[in-house]
Structure 1
Amino acid sequence: MIATLFYKTDDTEKQTSKQPNIIYIFADDLGYNDVGYHRSEIKTPNIDRLSREGVRLENYYVQPICTPSRSQFMSGRYQIHTGLQHGVIKPSQPNALPTTSPTIAEKLKEVGYTTHAIGKWHLGFYKDKFLPINRGFDTFFGFYTGAEDYFDHFRCFEYCGYDLHNNDSSVFNETGHYSTHLFTERAINIVKSHDQSKPMFLYLAYQAVHSPLQAPRRYIRPYFHIQDKHRRKYAGMVSCLDEGIGNLTDALKEAGMWENTVFVFSTDNGGSIGDGGNNWPLRGWKGSLWEGAMRGVGFVLSSKLKYPGTVNYEFIHVSDWYLTFLKIAGAKRNGTKDMDGFNQWSTISENAPSPRKELLHNIDPLTMKQGKRLYRDTFDNRIRAAIRVNNWKLITGYPGNSSWIPPPHISRHLDPRIRYQSDNNNDAKNIWLFNIADDPYEEIDLSNTHIDIVRSLLDRLLEYEKTAVPIRYPAYDPESNPQKHGGQWKPWK
């Protein structure tokens, strides 16, 4: 289903039979209410314009936290099938996305693409074989861990060290160079120097707008009216991100590459409320199993879209980009393990019905069990998990923070829907059922009145659980200490 924003009448962008360039931009921790077109107080003119000219995805899902979304994008496979069911990969953990199935970059290289990764990796680096340049990327410029200082590119977690790399070499001479600017400039340089006889895959995973809250003052200044200091800084970070995206698209147009480019923008998870993000009117935030953590901001731009200027409400997930990009590039699936994603190109480009009818959000048995078990003959509802089948969503175990948090400028007294609450989940309750189509804000729990649906979804979780591989979440390794490796985060095994 689509809703029309406007239809493009300019036919100057001609269709071409050449393999299109693929640009995938991952924003970090960008909340549902952090873009202008979702009526945010934060100004995002470039994102708004680009999404208005393309296809906005309004039934689009990501994972609740960083590593899982990135792993599912890169592999097309659920966390339960890569061993990354629990948490994120910490800097000192000997853990990584397994090499048992090729990444999307590896598959695109097979059909002639030049491949570049910029920004945040967060898929493991404890051995050389897990580095981006050994996972299908011709070049890499960015950082391996999950967060760091935007200006000095220094990360402290258990140990402290520099984390900025050009391919497999550490970079120490960019202190003071704000990472959003740095990564945008790198992307533009790649575009300018690209050999256009070959198609390009550019994976631009911005550090923005993940904590720490840092931005040059000129981006924060327009938001001095925002009283909440975290939201104010965060807004400046979003504005800088938006500027960078506009500059990159301008560079693609100047290089003559825009008309043969598929441009995809996505957040990796919902906003972190304590760090300035906001997901209103959705429930919950980053790290939870509520919609605010997983319903993502996303859009696609391409001259190959049949209905540009529309809003698409078909069911799409971050794991779907793998097979979608293979279709766009004319690549084959050979060598891949079973995929959990779907090819959504017809859904996006032609408004065909989505092939996705269900989505396993996750099953995480390492999180402490909550409450009592209801049934012995199906999935253990004490385990943290969530699944969506058609319009029905089931959550079990500990769901994470359950609040509805309005942006700071909205008074609770102005909207009766606002329930501003702390993380006060009843420790005994461990099962929730919602009809997301009728109740997108997860206000009406139907678990007590639709027992048959609860049982059916628990049975489906049990089937998924049987296919899960063992969780990898190893202890921190002291050998990772950057002080043993020239003061830098780098492979240590």
Structure 2
Amino acid sequence: MKIKLILLLSLFSVGFSAFSQKKKSNTPPNIILVMVDDMGYSDIGAYGSEISTPNIDKLAFEGIRLKEFYNNSICAPTRASLITGQYPHKAGVGYFNVNLGLPAYQGFLNKESLTFGEVLKTAGYNTFLSGKWHVGNDSLYWPNQRGFDKFYGFIGGASNFYADAKDVPVELVENNKRITLKEGEYLTNTITDKALSFIEEQQKTQKPFFLYLAYNAPHWPLQALPEDIAKYRGKFALGWDSLRTIRHKKQIELGLVDPKHSIATRDEDVPKWDSFTYDEQQLWQRKMEVYAAMLDRVDQNVGRVLAKLKALKKDENTLIVFISDNGAQGGYAPLGRKRSRNSGPIGSSGSYEYQDQSWASLSNTPFRSYKNNFHEGGISSPFIAWFPKKIKAGSIARGTGHLIDLAPTFYDFAGAKYPENYNSLKTNPLAGVSLKNVLLEGTELNRELPIFWERGGNRAVRKGKWKLVSTYPEKRWELYDLDSDRGETTDLSGKNPDVVKALIAEYETWAKKNNVENYDKIKPAVQIGNGTRF
């Protein structure tokens, strides 16, 4: 009798263990989306940088990187596509977070374009956002009203990082309540503090969670902690010319850049490093030292998130994706833009400096141009996905991914169904494709449909190897073969008129479908883009 009882208990134990394992494997993953602000393609170690980013690099080398992943070149339209899975015009943010009087340019997310928060809540997720919103200033359109259970951060496009600047409070919102950053706090740290508290409190619910961690670093103004700045003293003494060459070589060694491709031609507005005096070089170095320090602090906070996941035993069932909202910020100095007056050294709470196009040309290595432009330097982002035991470590995948693909990817991982109707409204169907198989299997992403861009009169199309691009106010189209020339050094439009004609036709069909207007007819008196702070 005793032997039978032992045998029965053993069988029960095995059966329960198998059931537990099956239940665990069927548990939807936690999802963390980390977005940084105004960071170039090459600014993290895993994409070629000399800046210390060991925690982000850990995600890359233990996960998968994409060689080609596109954003919308500027803050608000990028966030509109990211959060909803729509092209920005379809979501209501075709220009920026300002209202130009048309539904496609209303400056806030429309209700037909559902957010991560709204969709994932229907799948049983807790939904959190800590950091930058920038897709609707009116409180009717803040995160808590668009599906996020908890929100901490700022609503607009930029914020100071320190709370102790004289007479300049850092205005924030926490769950619909206006607050300010406390004296002595540094915003990158506090954004992470709140995110970690959300995760800890969420433990009680036994639900999976989605966290959108939207850092504003290294966006203007250049303000960093002294101990982080000190780490980079003299690190940029070689200047942007030499460091750009070094980064490009490292990118080739990492397998991210084809050695047969030429690096983008130097921008005519970027002076040679050797043309500056010693004192001028010291001043320029300081800017990049602070910029690097801001990214370093982001990386330290990514490390804090990883440590918390491990402590809570959530690390093995969490998907983390890391991207940037656009290329590095450049193109200002030649436009004579009025600069804000500094009340302290570069990097301090009184600093209102920004990177400028010279260092941005380094950040965007090996590509051409900057934020707000549809050449590769403006719209190319690093893309890293990490999911232990699910994503093969050290993978690098080809293919043309875009922001519109992240919503369907997350819903695919979560088992969430995107509704055709929501709150009695017919929803806009998702525009992108799920990257789940690409991430889990490391296969190349082959898109059936092209990707399109328009903002502020700038236009572009990417289809297969071809990229068509036009920069406002010019109406002329340029054509590049990105399979052989991702640096966009040779315009092939004259040799391939039929390709240009076909891509223009596809662009016009897309523009009509997404209610894109002729920019000359709707442009505001004060343009947001190159020449205006944003």
Report the equivalent of 2:414: 329
Matches within 5 A, 1:153-302: 162-172=170-180, 174-195=182-203, 197-225=206-234, 226=236, 227=282, 228-273=285-330, 275=355, 276-277=359-360, 278-302=363-387
Deviation at 1:173, TM superposition (A): 5.2
Answer yes or no: is the 8 Å Cα contact 1:25–1:264 preserved in 2. yes
Q: Cα gap change, 1:222/1:428 in structure 2, threshold over 3 Å: closer, same or farther? A: same
Q: Aligned equivalents of 2:505 and 2:305: distance in 1?
A: 47
Q: Cα gap change, 1:135/1:61 in structure 2, threshold over 3 Å: closer, same or farther? A: same
Q: Cα gap change, 1:390/1:169 in structure 2, threshold over 3 Å: closer, same or farther? A: same
Report the equivalent of 2:463: 389
Q: Cα gap change, 1:94/1:389 in structure 2, threshold over 3 Å: closer, same or farther? A: closer
Give the structure with the larger helix fraction.
Answer: 2
Q: Aligned equivalents of 1:69 and 1:153: distance in 2?
A: 31
Answer yes or no: is the 8 Å Cα contact 1:324–1:342 preserved in 2. yes
**TM-score, normalised to structure 1's length?**
0.79
One-letter identity of the residue aligned with 1:430: R
Q: Cα gap change, 1:397/1:62 in structure 2, threshold over 3 Å: closer, same or farther? A: closer
Q: Aligned equivalents of 2:322 and 2:176: distance in 1?
A: 27
Report the equivalent of 2:146: 135
| Comparing 48-57 and 164-173, the one that deviates more | 164-173
One-letter identity of the residue aligned with 1:106: E
| Residue 62 of structure 1 pairs with residue 74 of structure 2 | no
Deviation at 1:187, TM superposition (A): 1.5
Q: Cα gap change, 1:220/1:28 in structure 2, threshold over 3 Å: closer, same or farther? A: same
Number of equivalent positions: 414
Answer yes or no: is the 8 Å Cα contact 1:358–1:388 preserved in 2. no
Answer yes or no: is the 8 Å Cα contact 2:466–2:481 preserved in 1. yes
2:451 to 346, 350, 360: 360
Unaligned runs of 5+ in 1: 1-11, 368-383, 399-426, 477-493
* Percent of aligned pairs sharing the same letter: 32
**TM-score, normalised to structure 2's length?**
0.73
2:482 to 436, 444, 447: 436
Report the equivalent of 2:4: none
Greater gyration radius: 2
Q: Aligned equivalents of 2:166 and 2:81: distance in 1?
A: 25
Answer yes or no: is the 8 Å Cα contact 1:15–1:304 preserved in 2. no
Q: Deviations over 1:168-223 (max 9, x none)?
A: 00113523311111011111222222226100001110111111000011001011
Q: Aligned equivalents of 1:162 and 1:50: distance in 2?
A: 31
Answer yes or no: is the 8 Å Cα contact 2:41–2:365 preserved in 1. yes
Deviation at 1:315, TM superposition (A): 1.8
Q: Cα gap change, 1:457/1:143 in structure 2, threshold over 3 Å: closer, same or farther? A: same
Report the equivalent of 1:464: 510
Answer yes or no: is the 8 Å Cα contact 2:323–2:382 preserved in 1. yes
One-letter identity of the residue aligned with 1:177: E
RMSD across aligned C-alpha pairs, in angstroms? 2.7
Q: Aligned equivalents of 1:470 and 1:361: distance in 2?
A: 11
Answer yes or no: is the 8 Å Cα contact 1:191–1:255 preserved in 2. no
Q: Aligned equivalents of 1:326 and 1:142: distance in 2?
A: 25
Deviation at 1:26, TM superposition (A): 0.7
1:79 to 84, 88, 96: 88
One-letter identity of the residue aligned with 1:395: V
One-letter identity of the residue aligned with 1:217: P
1:18 to 24, 27, 38: 27
Q: Deviations over 1:382-404 (max 9, x none)?
A: xx310001110001242xxxxxx
Q: Cα gap change, 1:43/1:466 in structure 2, threshold over 3 Å: closer, same or farther? A: same
Q: Aligned equivalents of 2:119 and 2:96: distance in 1?
A: 27
| Residue 450 of structure 1 pairs with residue 493 of structure 2 | no
Secondary structure of the corresponding residue to residue 142 of structure 1: strand
Q: Cα gap change, 1:470/1:455 in structure 2, threshold over 3 Å: closer, same or farther? A: closer
Unaligned runs of 5+ in 2: 1-20, 100-104, 237-281, 331-353, 422-426, 526-534
